[in-house]
Amino acid sequence: MKLSEALSERSDIAKRIDRLYDRLVNNAKVQEGENPAEDPEALIAELNGLTERMTELVTRINLTNAATVSDGETVTALIARRDCMTKKINILRGFLDEASSTVSRGMRSEIKIKSTVNVREYQKLLDELSKELRTLDVRLQGLNFTTELL
């Protein structure tokens, strides 16, 4: 099995677990004398099976990511870099959106609001980081499709 297949299955199982939660909550209580729409015991048994499979997949994915090296870096390190870069980009994007928004003044005597940074310079940095993130993501996707799951 390729790493990409395991990642896809993990995503599918996570969605199924989320749906199971909703189904369990919907069948947690019934009016006296009524039956639930679904058997909670069967749903819990399904949940147990899915969480066991998820545990196995996550373990194998993590072991594979830690053991797979590309250009001197493990996939785990690449993922950590991608996640941190994504967070940084999102924060900078929000900051620049706020810094570049204009505040209109009704009269010249009103307080003038100005940006605290050179928005153009930071936008250029944001564009460079976004390009680097896309390149890193393509690299990770390629590894996912070529790496065998341990």
- The pLDDT assigned to 108 comes to 72
Q: Are 51 and 17 in contact (CB under 8 A)?
A: yes
- The pLDDT assigned to 103 comes to 67
- The pLDDT assigned to 106 comes to 67
Q: Residues of 9-38 as b/e, b for ≥16 C-beta within 10 angstroms? A: bbeebeeeeeebeebbeebeeeeeeeeeee
- The pLDDT assigned to 43 comes to 98
Structure tokens at 74: 């493990």
CA distance 79 to 136: 9
Q: For residue 36, give the H/E element and its range.
A: none
Residue listed under structure tokens 């993990």: 10
Residue spans per domain, the chain? 1-67, 70-150
Query: Per-10-residue mean pLDDT for the chain, 150 residues long?
Result: 97 99 96 95 98 98 98 98 98 95 71 86 97 98 97
- Which distant-in-sequence residues (6+ apart) come within 8 Å of 13 by Cβ? 50, 53, 54, 57
DSSP lists the bridge partners of residue 148 as 2
CA distance 140 to 51: 26
What are the backbone dihedrals phi and psi of residue 148, each rounded to the nearest 5 degrees, phi first?
-80, 140
- The pLDDT assigned to 21 comes to 98
CA distance 4 to 145: 5
CA distance 16 to 21: 9
- Which distant-in-sequence residues (6+ apart) come within 8 Å of 133 by Cβ? 82, 85, 86, 89
